Structure 1
Amino acid sequence: MLLKEYLLRKFRRETITAKSGFTLIELLVVIAIIGLVSAIVMLAINPAEILRDSRDKKRMADLRGIYDALERYALDAGQYPGETYCDSSIGSADHACPVDPPQNNWDKNSSFWTQLTGSGQMGIIPADPTNDIFHFYYYEPLCNQDIVLPGGTIIPKCSKEKGGNGLCCAYYLGCNFEDDEGDFVWVYTP
């Protein structure tokens, strides 16, 4: 019986004096350290910049696909899709891009859309990842006019137009980047 009482007393004493968790201050210190480390990591990673860069990389890949489709179309048809206005991923206009008011996608009635998709060169023409008035893809044929590059460089009128029949002899294909490097433009002149 003495052994039993001794063990019971010892057990009670140990359970009463033993710590059974963390204090509030310890928990707050750990939470503050975790918050500080996560803030430093978020500043180092900068998710907004990563998203912006990924959208710009998608823009380059999309434009490369459109460019390749235009080249295949020109090989098959002997000319590029031509028209007298700008086509963009926010709609078409009979004047320079951007379209006002903007739509939400390419004009599926434009000759650019019908010629590229109807010829089987592209199933669907991609739209810009943000696709707003500031960021959009555009295709603009340039016939019987000088080409003015960003920065002011002028390329004289294309001399390879076939008898003035409206065939496209050059084109702009471009987009607006988000990384403050300005616009990206392919200008093709045969």
Structure 2
Amino acid sequence: MKKVLFLTGDYTEDYETMVPFQMLEMIGYEVHTVCPDKKKGDAIKTAIHDFEGDQTYSEKPGHNFILNYSFDQVIVENYDGLVIAGGRAPEYLRLNAKLLEMVQYFFTTNKPVAAICHGIQILTAANVVKGRKLTAYPAVGPEVTLAGGEFQSIPADAAYVDGNLVTSPAWPGHPSFIREFLKIMGTTISI
């Protein structure tokens, strides 16, 4: 059974945590959802980001999401892939040095990584996007460029793949995002 480390935290985007988590478990992966300073059984609050015609997304309270693994127990070598949720959580998660080291491990070992929306802020803080092509929520594009990455402007319902890295602008891209992540994880689904 393949194991995936899933980074999330308070005020993560609701869909960007719940939906990929459920999709990956449905495939049969063992998915460990973690957040710094929290342990198995702790809840994180989520936020629902919606596109309602304003200049940016709106934000509403989401669900509580129960973490199923303790951050302090993570041994990164035990995981086959990494998923990073978006929302507001990445802006503070990227300040955690241990979390950034975990992310760097997946890049130095060329293991699959999937990041969506503002989750790319963790990648820029981990200094792993230099020379890479990737996408993010458009407001994160300047960070990608400043970190040495090549920002790809693609539709919100799409995903972009660069080697071991899959990125998507926002939750409308989940079908493409997860499909491409499964491919780089070496998982095929026959219909």
TM-score (norm 2): 0.26
User: Quick check: which one's helix share is greater?
Assistant: 1
Q: Which has the larger share of strand?
A: 2
Scaled by the length of structure 1, what TM-score is found?
Answer: 0.26
